[in-house]
A and B are shown apart, each in its own frame.
Chain A
Amino acid sequence: MTTLNALRPSRRGILKGAVSAVLLGFHLPSRQAVAQGASTASPPELNAWVVVHPDDRVVLRMAKTEMGQGVRTGLAQMFAEEMHCDWSKLSTEYVTPGQSLVRSRVWGNFLTAGSQGIRSSQEIVRKGGAAARMMLIQAAAARWDVPAAECSARDSVITHAGSGRTLRYAEVVTEAARLTPPSDVPLKDPAQWTVIGKPTARLDTADKTTGKLVYGQDLRMPGMLVAVPRRCPVFGGTVRSFDVAAVSGRHGVRHVLKVGESAVAVVADTFWQAKTALDALPVEWDTGENGRVSSEAISTMLDEGLTAREAFIGNQQGDARAAIAGAARQIEATYSYPYQNHAPMETMNATVVWTPSRCDVWCPTQNGEAALATAAQAAGLPQTACDIHRVDLGGGFGRRAVHDWLVDAVLIARQVPGIPIKTMWTREEDMVQGRYHPVTKCRLVAGLDAENRIVGLHMRISGQSILATAFPGGLQNGRDPVQFQGLNATGTESALGYTFPNLLIDHAMRNPHVPAQFWRGVNHNQNAIYLECFLDEVAHATNQDPLALRRSLMANHPKHLAVLNAVAERIGWGTPAPAGVHRGIAQQMGFGSFVAAAAEVSVERGELKMHRIVAATDCGHAVNPRQIEMQVEGSFVYGLSAMLHGACTVKDGAIEQTNFDTYNVMRMSEMPKVETTILPSGGFWGGVGEPTIMVAAPAVLNAIFAATGRRIRDMPLGDQLRQRG
Chain B
Amino acid sequence: MVTLNVNGRSVQVDADPDTPLLWAIRDHVGLTGTKYGCGIAQCGACTVHLDGQAVRSCALPLSAVQESQRIVTIEGLSPDGNHPLQVAWRALDVPQCGFCQSGMLMAAAALLAEKPRPTDEEINDAITNICRCGTYNQVRAGIHQAAERGISG
Contacts and interface: CB of A to CB of B under 8 A. Distances in A.
Q: Do A and B bind each other?
A: yes
Interface of A: 24-25, 67-70, 201-202, 204-215, 217-218, 220, 226, 251, 270-272, 276, 343-347, 392-397, 426-428, 626-627, 630, 633-638, 641, 659-661, 665-669, 671, 673-674
A345 B139 contact: no
A226 B28 CA distance: 13
A159 B132 CA distance: 47
Contact of A210 (B19, B86, B94, B123): B86
Given A209-B105, A668-B136, A217 B35 contact: yes
Contacts of A427: 37-40
A220 B40 CA distance: 24
Interface residues of B, number: 60
B93 A660 contact: no
Given A210-B77, A668-B128, 18 more contacts: A204-B98, A207-B98, A270-B27, A271-B27, A272-B23, A345-B35, A345-B132, A346-B37, A395-B97, A395-B133, A428-B39, A630-B93, A633-B138, A635-B134, A637-B131, A665-B130, A668-B136, A671-B137
B42 A660 contact: yes
Contact of A218 (B32, B101, B133): B32
A214 to B, nearest CB: 7
A631 to B, nearest CB: 8
Given A220-B30, A395-B133, A345 B43 contact: yes
If over half of A's interface residues share one DSSP class (helix, strand or loop), that class is named, otherwise mixed; here it is loop
Contacts of A626: 93
B76 to A, nearest CB: 9
A346 B99 contact: yes
A220 B27 CA distance: 9
B40 A345 contact: no
A674 B137 contact: yes
Contacts of B89: 205, 208-209
Contacts of B19: 272
A392 B35 CA distance: 14
Given A24-B32, A426-B39, A637 B23 contact: no
Sorted nearest first, the 10 A-B pairs with minimum C-beta distance are A211-B33, A637-B134, A68-B97, A208-B98, A394-B99, A68-B96, A634-B134, A211-B74, A218-B32, A669-B124
Interface string B42-56: 110100000000000
16 contacts: A205-B98, A211-B73, A212-B33, A226-B27, A272-B19, A343-B132, A392-B98, A395-B133, A630-B138, A634-B133, A635-B134, A638-B132, A660-B42, A661-B42, A671-B136, A671-B140
A346 B35 contact: yes
Interface centre among A217, A428, A661, A668 (most CB of B within 10 A): A668
Interface of B: 15-16, 18-20, 23, 26-28, 30-40, 42-43, 45, 73-75, 77, 81, 85-86, 89-90, 93-102, 105, 123-125, 127-140
B57 to A, nearest CB: 12
Contact of A636 (B27, B35, B101, B134): B134
Contacts of A202: 93
Contacts of A272: 15-16, 19-20, 23, 27
A207 B105 CA distance: 13
Contacts of B81: 206, 209-210
Contact of B132 (A211, A271, A665, A668): A665
Contacts of B101: 208-209
Contacts of A220: 30, 32
Nearest to B125: A669
A633 B90 contact: no
A667 B27 CA distance: 29
Nearest to B73: A211
A655 B96 CA distance: 29
Interface centre among B36, B85, B128 (most CB of A within 10 A): B36
The winner among B93, B94, B101 for most chain A CB atoms within 10 A is B93
Looking at chain B's contact residues, is the secondary structure mostly helix, strand, loop, or mixed?
A: loop
Contacts, number: 180
Contacts of B90: 205-206, 209
Given A209-B90, A212-B33, A634-B135, A395 B99 contact: yes
B32 A660 contact: no
A659 B59 CA distance: 14
B75 to A, nearest CB: 5
Contact of B130 (A345, A346, A394, A673): A345
B48 to A, nearest CB: 11
Contacts of A633: 134-138
Contacts of B125: 669
B130 A667 contact: yes
Contacts of B75: 210-211
B2 to A, nearest CB: 13
Nearest to B87: A209
A221 to B, nearest CB: 12
A215 B34 contact: no
With a 10 A CB-CB cut-off, give which of B42, B73, B105 has the most chain A CB atoms.
B42
B36 A217 contact: yes
A69 B134 CA distance: 11
Nearest to A270: B27
Contacts of B32: 24-25, 211, 214, 217-218, 220
Nearest to A69: B96
Contact of A673 (B124, B127, B137): B137
A218 B85 CA distance: 23
B98 A213 contact: yes
Contact of B33 (A210, A271, A426): A210
Contact of B100 (A24, A345, A641): A345
A494 B59 CA distance: 45
B26 to A, nearest CB: 8
